[in-house]
Amino acid sequence: MRGADYVIKRAGFAVLTIFVAITINFFLFRVLPGNAVADLSRVPRATPQLRHALEVEFGLDKPKWEQYLIYLKQLAHGNMGVSYATQQPVSTLLANDLKNTIPMVAVGTIAAILIGVLTGILSAWRRGSALDHLSTNLAIAFYAFPTQFLGLMLLILFASVLPTSGMMNPFVLGPESLWARLKDIGAHMILPALTVCLTLYGEFTLIMRSSMLETLGEDYVLTARAKGLPDRKIVSRHALRNALLPIATVVAISLGWIVGGAILVEFIFTWPGIGWAMWQAIYQRDYPMLQGGFLVLAVSVIVLNFIADLAYFRLDPRIKE
C-alpha cells in the first residue's frame, strides 16, 4: 500500500516537472524578449503553403495564452514544428539524433559505473595503502577535468590511431556487411565514449569509496568477520550490496551533468547526436530545433530520474517508511 503511494507520488512529480519544463520552454522562446525572433512560421525559403500550414497548426495569429494551449496540444501529437535549416519535422530529426546519442552515452556511463565501483571498493578495502592514495587522487583529478579539455587531450593522443569525427566512415561505397558496419561505428565510438567514461568515473569512485567505508563499519560486517569469513567474501557477499545504494542515487542525480557532458563530447567528436544537433541549431539560428532539442533532453533526464527512483525503491525497501 505504502509502496503504491510512493510510486504515485514520484510519477506525479515527474509529470509535474515535465509540465514545468514544457511551460518554461514555451516562455523562453515565444514570450521573453531577446534576440530570438522565434516565430515558428519564419522558416527561411519556405513555400507559402508550409508557412500557412504552420501558422494554422500553432495558431500564431492568436493571443499568447491561446498559443500556449495549442503548443501543448501539438506537443501531445509529437509536433514540434519544422527545422529552419532542413525544413523537415523537428520530431523526426530529433528521434534520429537520440538514436545516435543513447548508445554512445550509455556505453560511456556504464563503463564509468563499473570502473568507479571497482576502484571504489578496492580503495575502501585497502584504505590508507598506496593503491588507495593513487586511486583517490586520480579520481579527484578526473573529477576536476573539464570535459572539453579531456576530449581534446584524447583527440591529440589518439588522432593517428582512432577515428576522431563522425559516427561512420563516409567514404565507404556500395553495400557493406552489417558486421563491417558495426565495427566501423564501434571504432568511431571509442573516443567519445571514453571521454564520457573518464569524466564520470572519478565521482563514482569517491562515492563508492566512502559508501563502502561506511558499510564496512556496520555491526553485521564485524559479525561476519567474527565468524571467520575471508575478506573477499565479506566484501562481496555482505558489504557490496548495501554499499551500492548511493551509487544509484548519484547516477540519477548526475544525469543532468551526463547530458551536459554529452553535448561537449558530441561537439568535439562531431558525433551526430542530440548535443551536436543543438549546437548546430545555435550555429544556424534554428530555433525550433533548439527548442525541441532542449525539451527532449529535459524530458529524458526527468524520465530517467523517475526510473532511478523506482529502481531505488526496489533496491532499498526502507524507503517505504
- Which three cell numbers mark 58? 500553432
The answer to whether residue 222 forms part of the interface with other proteins (CB under 8 A) is yes
Q: Which residues contact 68 (CB under 8 A, 6 or more apart)?
A: 23, 26
User: Do residues 178 and 224 lie in contact, with contact meaning Cβ atoms separated by under 8 Å?
Assistant: no
The answer to whether residue 146 forms part of the interface with other proteins (CB under 8 A) is yes
The answer to whether residue 106 forms part of the interface with other proteins (CB under 8 A) is no
Footprint on residues 7-36 left by other proteins (CB under 8 A)? 13, 16-17, 20-21, 28-29, 32, 34-36
User: Do residues 280 and 85 lie in contact, with contact meaning Cβ atoms separated by under 8 Å?
Assistant: yes
Residue closer to other proteins by CB (options 52, 237) is 237
The answer to whether residue 270 forms part of the interface with other proteins (CB under 8 A) is no
Q: How far is the CB of 235 from other proteins (least distance, A)?
A: 9
Look-up: residue for cell 561512420?
168
Q: Which of 207, 244, 265, 277 binds other proteins (CB under 8 A)?
A: 207
The answer to whether residue 169 forms part of the interface with other proteins (CB under 8 A) is no
Q: How far is the CB of 48 from other proteins (least distance, A)?
A: 28
d(CA 294, CA 300): 10
The answer to whether residue 302 forms part of the interface with other proteins (CB under 8 A) is yes
Binding-site size, other proteins (CB under 8 A): 78
Angle between helix axes 287-315 and 2-30 (nearest 10 degrees) is: 170
User: Looking at the DSSP assignment, which residues form a beta bridge with residue 82?
Assistant: 89
- Which three cell numbers mark 145? 577535468
The answer to whether residue 181 forms part of the interface with other proteins (CB under 8 A) is no
The answer to whether residue 143 forms part of the interface with other proteins (CB under 8 A) is yes
Residue closer to other proteins by CB (options 80, 298) is 298
Residue closer to other proteins by CB (options 130, 178) is 130
Collapsed DSSP state (helix, strand, coil) of residue 207 = helix
The answer to whether residue 263 forms part of the interface with other proteins (CB under 8 A) is yes
- 8: number of Cβ within 10 Å: 10
